[in-house]
């Protein structure tokens, strides 16, 4: 059996339908244990630095208390590889993924305990070939899950998602109006995330780091055109987020502006601490904040960037470059720990 838009002999990333995963929420407030770990652990971006700044930024974010399971039905997918199963994937599975209505980690090895699935794709399993992996993932999602969920999230294994706030946003009048309704995510294809402008071109895309979100209509549209020549079906490239945007735009779907009424972002490409402490540097090379080097692309490609507390909406819903221990820490700060007493945030008037 073939997927929509596949070539002869190509399956939809795999014939077997991986059952989605549901777990109970991770609880606890292990701040002392985290502080000890943060003194000794290291990672590519030193994410567990800036502990106080995580607290300060998260203090201005409100988690929607009206969230209900299945309203709307949200599928959460991440892409990963075996080396990260016991660390990042395990942390995701035990923290924010429990708040989704379904979860699968698309990997190079199937592990039923961690709920990872080996996704088949063209070319080697490596970062420089991420576009082929993403193509296979979206075909697989379209073939196996499209009718089971209303909205579909895809990001990396260093994503942190506040699912309650995503539910609130997807149920808002703004999204309901743009999508043309609530049922199945609405009939109009939607493409949500954090917009950036590709260097040297007037091409807007949603950055893959803090995830991007499609409804049923856009999943079906994307999957049916992934093999079009205009969507570069055999390209071996790492910028899968840009190519997803390009393919959708070729078929009439552009990145939706997801900022709140005050122009603050909901999707964030760095950790809470990095966004809280970051300011526009006088020199591009002066970009170290809260243990994280903010890439020059953020300044060059950013659209109407805001800094400090104004960077982030009261209804923020995702962060990126979140390692194993930071994922657990953020989950505690959001759901279990006493809230940091920050200055009162500016709120939008309705």
- pLDDT value, residue 5: 40
The secondary structure element, H or E, covering residue 80 is none
CB 185 within 8 A of CB 166: no
Domain ranges in the chain are 31-335
Q: Specify the pairing of strand 191-192 against strand 212-215.
A: antiparallel
Q: What are residue 165's phi and psi, to 5 degrees? A: -75, -30
Tell me how far apart the alpha carbons of residues 100 and 23 are, in angstroms, rounded to a whole number: 9
Encode the chain (350 residues) as per-residue pLDDT tens digits: 335 444 434 455 565 565 554 433 334 444 444 443 344 334 433 444 445 788 999 999 999 999 999 999 999 999 999 999 999 999 999 999 999 999 999 999 999 999 999 999 999 999 999 999 999 999 999 999 999 999 999 999 999 999 999 999 999 999 999 999 999 999 999 999 999 998 766 789 999 999 999 999 999 999 999 999 999 999 999 999 999 999 999 999 999 999 999 999 999 999 999 898 876 665 555 555 554 556 677 888 899 999 888 999 999 999 999 999 999 999 999 998 877 665 544 444 43
Q: How many CB atoms lie within 10 A of CB 335?
A: 18
Query: For residue 2, what pLDDT is reported?
Result: 39
- Give the pLDDT score at 201: 65
pLDDT at 34: 42
Q: Say which residue the tokens 């196996």 belong to.
A: 144
Residues 9 and 120: beta-carbon distance below 8 Å:
no
Residue in the structure block whose two tokens are 């989704």:
100
Q: How far apart are alpha carbons 339 and 345 in whole angstroms? A: 13
CA distance 323 to 89: 10
Which pTM value belongs to this model? Answer: 0.85
Can you give the pLDDT at residue 47?
A: 42
Q: What is the CATH number of domain 31-335?
A: 3.90.550
């Amino acid at each position: 059996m073939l997927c929509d838009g596949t070539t002869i002999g190509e399956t939809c990333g795999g014939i077997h339908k991986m059952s989605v995963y549901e777990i109970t929420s991770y609880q606890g407030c292990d701040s002392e244990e985290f502080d000890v770990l943060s003194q000794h652990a290291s990672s590519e971006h030193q994410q567990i630095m800036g502990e106080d700044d995580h607290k300060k930024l998260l203090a201005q974010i409100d988690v929607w208390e009206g969230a209900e399971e299945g309203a709307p039905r949200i599928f959460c997918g991440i892409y990963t590889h075996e080396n990260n199963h016991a660390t990042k994937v395990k942390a995701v599975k035990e923290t924010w993924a429990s708040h989704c209505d379904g979860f699968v980690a698309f990997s190079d090895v199937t592990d039923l305990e961690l709920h990872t699935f080996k996704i088949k794709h063209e070319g080697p399993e490596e970062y420089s070939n991420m576009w082929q992996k993403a193509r296979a993932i979206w075909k697989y999602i379209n073939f196996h899950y499209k009718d089971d969920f209303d909205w579909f999230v895809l990001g990396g294994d260093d994503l942190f998602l506040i699912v309650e706030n995503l539910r609130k946003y997807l149920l808002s009048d703004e999204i309901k109006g743009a999508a043309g309704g609530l049922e199945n995510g609405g009939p109009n294809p939607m493409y949500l995330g954090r917009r950036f402008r590709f260097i040297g071109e007037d091409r807007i895309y949603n950055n893959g780091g803090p995830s991007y979100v499609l409804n049923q209509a856009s999943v079906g549209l994307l999957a049916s055109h992934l093999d079009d020549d205009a969507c570069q079906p055999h390209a071996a490239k790492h910028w899968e987020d840009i190519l997803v945007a390009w393919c959708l735009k070729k078929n009439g779907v552009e990145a939706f502006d997801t900022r709140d009424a005050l122009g603050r972002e909901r999707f964030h490409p760095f950790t809470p601490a990095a966004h809280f402490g970051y300011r526009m540097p006088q020199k591009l090379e002066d970009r170290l904040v809260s243990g994280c080097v903010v890439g020059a692309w953020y300044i060059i490609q950013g659209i109407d960037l805001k800094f400090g507390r104004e960077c982030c909406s009261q209804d923020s819903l995702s962060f990126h470059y979140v390692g194993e221990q930071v994922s657990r820490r953020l989950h505690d700060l959001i759901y279990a720990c006493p809230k940091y007493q920050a200055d009162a945030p500016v709120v939008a008037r309705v």
